Structure 1
């Protein structure tokens, strides 16, 4: 009878078993923390949505808060590990994770009343800070900290802990989609808050176990040569990660990380507004762009050649996606959501994979992991600030969407040109886009003199011709991006509106327009493609209710049947443009 080999404490068999257990523990902790991070976002937005009467701006403002708090969490992770070292930082963090237990369960505090006149953005940000700021801050620190902790252990994967990023993003997607599909339909808001609080309690236990692994690891496990001992990371990440990757990142490289994170973040919010303006801002539709955003991270940070192959395919598709969505926006293409919605989402996904793929290919070694995540978080937070605060203050339209599409075109990775560049290449990078924009503007202006039915087809022809020229510049991202920007600007400025626009205003609740049609006799109040009211100014019809309050409507029949003694002193509450007041 053969005897079984003994397993000594330092034997490879024991090391393999312990190694798999460590990976399972860290992966489970990251999975749970990411799930909690992205479960609370749609959940608390749902908490406050009834206070605002439903608007996509609630989600965008909430995303601004969560992205900014995430940045603060990553800053804490970076600075605390840099100043204290991992072992002492782990001890500090155990105290930090206990503090949010004092403010749970999650819910809207009593006494918070929405201001009637002032801008609701500061009020909403304050409510988010008081209600979920502390728990979200602590949970958001888990991803960079645990990967940094693992890098200090004697685990075989310590040199490249980025593989844990997949577990984190998988938990994020499941938490995000699990809310509208499972949690919201089956639980009341108070129950949802208690469920999240129970999950946080479990997270505290898992973080304690991860800290114990760090403390039990031999001192000095975090060797300086660990990053260089991870060839898999270099090969998966691409040339940029293997050429002096252990050196301190340059300023231009850091700014590139911030820019590559900014574009998908801002574009995600722009797509969210685009697909929810004309329908109810339900959490599922909010969650779709953010889910694609997270899935792109999962795919590009996966090891092996599949991630590189997907990235190359999306790089090939990006020029067409950017030009297609730009055309849809500029020509005001209308259609059912099930057609236009996937177009916007697919285009956004292509851009997200390209930008996040470039980040994955340029990721630094493990010892600079927290700085890398901090700068990615900074780019994401800047995207939220741009869409939620800067753009509404600067633009009276949703101009941020096409602007960021142009920036996405500039994010194309450089490729070797088929023809070697000549001495005037830099000059042509500016001159050719300017020439394209000038020609397109002239064509669109002349097309505007034609019949109304011919104008749309003429604009499509001008846009298509210019796009065909611009595609030839994709091997020079600066020239291609500036060409797309010139086309977008030329079409936007040279196009004549289909209807006379009397007034345009952008508020927290969206972009509102008052238009005049039928020779100026019919005024409409528009929000997106939705008509919220109209008035016929032709002689004798000024006080006749129109749109969905017309005399033949149910409310019109009810009020018309009432005696004037009742309707003369009626109080009217609700939506509309005052049409019901015409019955009094």
Structure 2
């Protein structure tokens, strides 16, 4: 014993916590940096749907369970020496997966489950490296508990360092790495970090196995957690995990399926761990509980759709802040319920199971059960049920104060329509009365009224019965009738419409973006089009463009979502395809991948109209994508890009691509004329050709103006900076 104390004394007191903090910080940085990195690598292969990120999160959370379970088992049944040997062996095997890439022989199969293929793609590409990294947080904390170092009996502070590394990595990817470097460069940097981690793991393990260490058995003072306690941990962990994904889906559907939008909710999710997994909490539990109540109130309004189904910039900010307040308290509650160090791995395994179930619910269960995005509302209801737990129950003062603040916040930000304010105010009054009359069971009333509030919002806002409401991996789909139009919506954006009186017409008139006065119609009814024999349409929609086809033309459609194809070809919904192009083939799958595999097919006109809601189809707007388009475009052919968008100026990367590839480019901003015809809406379209003569009569049309490059960096599969094309 004297020898052990002498051995311990020879080491600087600061060395142990610094070494372990550095190791867990680097491990967490690599863990969360690889998530947006590999998802960015995968996107060109499976498309840019918001569900790609949700499915990726399910994969990462599932592997995290495996990593935590592995750490739990080896720390229980193996000596530290054996733990080091096994873990470093797995680390060495993971090196064979580097640098990260998609297998050259992999291809997307439109007939198979997209979610299943995405999960397998992640497993084959990053599975083992991620599994090794995921085990490090509980493993390193358990090793530290054996060192006798500072706070070794309560090593949860290291989890704060872990999540700080995760947070920096997540923000660093979209804000620093992605704008400055390509995916290949970033991947090599990540590989160097993974090599360095091996050395730090070895040093940490050796420090944990010295003769001076305390064993877990010597520190056991607490009985094993009960099943009830573990279920509580899992339930609490489920709420912020599921809420994060619900908020992410809502944002990516409208704003874009890009790393920045993915990582903001996840970064805030991790920041809450940093703020509360510490011996110095940022605020009292009473204060955090008040924030939780405010966050729940705002999220109840958001997911009941009283703000409208479309997410504006300000409502997006409000939603993210409300999520942050909710997650902050949930994770603070988890920390307050933590066990002693000997049950640390059990705690993390259970917590990861709850978090992974949140991912499973949002990625697999909800899309199978619901035809709209109801998972956010359901998670808010579950979060409200947590108020029934004794430790969470708010005081009546906090409850009334939170409700008043919610009303003020929503009113001040003017995010609710007059009708919405009326509805919300009426429900809030009922809520106040219900709480006031249940003095002894305030929390019961609040939980049930929040649930009722969510249901009421759906009834008031989603009044009426859509002709169709369905959901696929690539988004939600709805058909409604309004103002004499049958309208198809994908996500929160209208993607096509047909006049009801035209449902029986021999040749229905295209509406909205495809109206006869608009630029898309100008291209397809031009003299250039009259002389064209083969036309390709990437993005089927409801098939409105088909009715600009001519008898001598051969049309081909490309659509990634089989459900969209079913809708377009069903004459009980829309009749564009059945009346105007009944024999035209529709090629299912990501158009870029399908075109790359097609030989001998060349187009005179190739239309790229594959934007989902207002996201940016980055993988369709790169040099590599253009090379595929040009391979299938005749020498005097025309590329047509429909780039109408609320948030992004897609003309900027297109202008750069045109300059780089030596293409002639023209753009038209059409304002529309809805006063004369509700179906004549504005749109933005770019046309490109190898030379000005290829544009035909469009070249001399004054409505089409030259599109010049802004001098920025051209987009490639390796590099694309979406932030720089935000509308200013």
TM-score by length of 2: 0.67
Tell me the distance in 1 between the aligned counterparts of 2:79 and 2:346: 14
Tell me the distance in 1 between the aligned counterparts of 2:11 and 2:329: 37
Residue 552 of structure 1, CA deviation: 2.2
Are the structure 2 counterparts of residues 148 and 495 from structure 1 closer, same or farther at C-alpha, using a change threshold of 3 Å?
A: same
Aligned partner (choices 324, 331, 338) of residue 356 of structure 1: 331
**Range with bigger deviation, 555-564 or 101-110:** 555-564
Residue 88 of structure 1, CA deviation: 2.7
Matched, 1:466 2:442: no
1:155-194 map, 5 Å: 155-194=149-188
In the other structure, the counterpart of 1:75 is 69
Residue 319 of structure 1, CA deviation: 2.3
In the other structure, the counterpart of 1:113 is 107
Tell me the distance in 1 between the aligned counterparts of 2:372 and 2:456: 17
Aligned partner (choices 542, 554, 578) of residue 519 of structure 2: 554
**Range with bigger deviation, 264-273 or 404-413:** 404-413
Are the structure 2 counterparts of residues 101 and 497 from structure 1 closer, same or farther at C-alpha, using a change threshold of 3 Å?
A: closer
Residue 541 of structure 1, CA deviation: 9.8
SS of residue paired to 1:58: helix
In the other structure, the counterpart of 1:395 is 370
Tell me the distance in 2 between the aligned counterparts of 1:292 and 1:418: 27
Residue 374 of structure 1, CA deviation: 0.6
Which 5+ residue runs of structure 2 have no aligned equivalent? 397-416, 550-728
Aligned partner (choices 32, 40, 61) of residue 26 of structure 2: 32
Tell me the distance in 1 between the aligned counterparts of 2:50 and 2:386: 27
1:297-336 map, 5 Å: 297-304=273-280, 306-309=281-284, 311-334=285-308
In the other structure, the counterpart of 2:708 is none
C-alpha RMSD over aligned residues: 2.6
Would you say the 8 A contact 1:264–1:352 is kept in 2?
A: yes
Residue 581 of structure 1, CA deviation: 1.2
Would you say the 8 A contact 2:307–2:420 is kept in 1?
A: no
Would you say the 8 A contact 2:254–2:311 is kept in 1?
A: no
Deviation digits for residues 355-385 of structure 1, max 9, x if unmatched? 1111101111111111111111111111111
Matched, 1:488 2:454: yes
**Range with bigger deviation, 400-409 or 553-562:** 553-562
SS of residue paired to 2:39: helix
1:122-141 map, 5 Å: 122-141=116-135
Would you say the 8 A contact 1:272–1:285 is kept in 2?
A: yes
In the other structure, the counterpart of 1:233 is none
Matched, 1:101 2:95: yes
Tell me the distance in 2 between the aligned counterparts of 1:20 and 1:399: 50
Matched, 1:209 2:185: no
Would you say the 8 A contact 2:67–2:135 is kept in 1?
A: yes
Are the structure 2 counterparts of residues 531 and 158 from structure 1 closer, same or farther at C-alpha, using a change threshold of 3 Å?
A: same
Which 5+ residue runs of structure 1 have no aligned equivalent? 1-7, 229-245, 420-452
Which protein is richer in strand relative to its size? 2
SS of residue paired to 1:411: helix
**Range with bigger deviation, 566-575 or 276-285:** 566-575
In the other structure, the counterpart of 2:472 is 507
Matched, 1:346 2:321: yes
Tell me the distance in 2 between the aligned counterparts of 1:470 and 1:22: 55
In the other structure, the counterpart of 2:724 is none
Deviation digits for residues 390-436 of structure 1, max 9, x if unmatched? 000001111111111011112235368879xxxxxxxxxxxxxxxxx
Tell me the distance in 2 between the aligned counterparts of 1:128 and 1:154: 39
- The count of corresponding residues between Structure 1 and Structure 2 is 520
Would you say the 8 A contact 1:45–1:59 is kept in 2?
A: yes
TM-score by length of 1: 0.83
Tell me the distance in 1 between the aligned counterparts of 2:217 and 2:86: 24
Residue 490 of structure 1, CA deviation: 4.3
Tell me the distance in 1 between the aligned counterparts of 2:25 and 2:259: 22
Matched, 1:404 2:379: yes
In the other structure, the counterpart of 1:369 is 344
Are the structure 2 counterparts of residues 574 and 308 from structure 1 closer, same or farther at C-alpha, using a change threshold of 3 Å?
A: closer
Would you say the 8 A contact 1:172–1:294 is kept in 2?
A: yes
Tell me the distance in 2 between the aligned counterparts of 1:498 and 1:418: 36
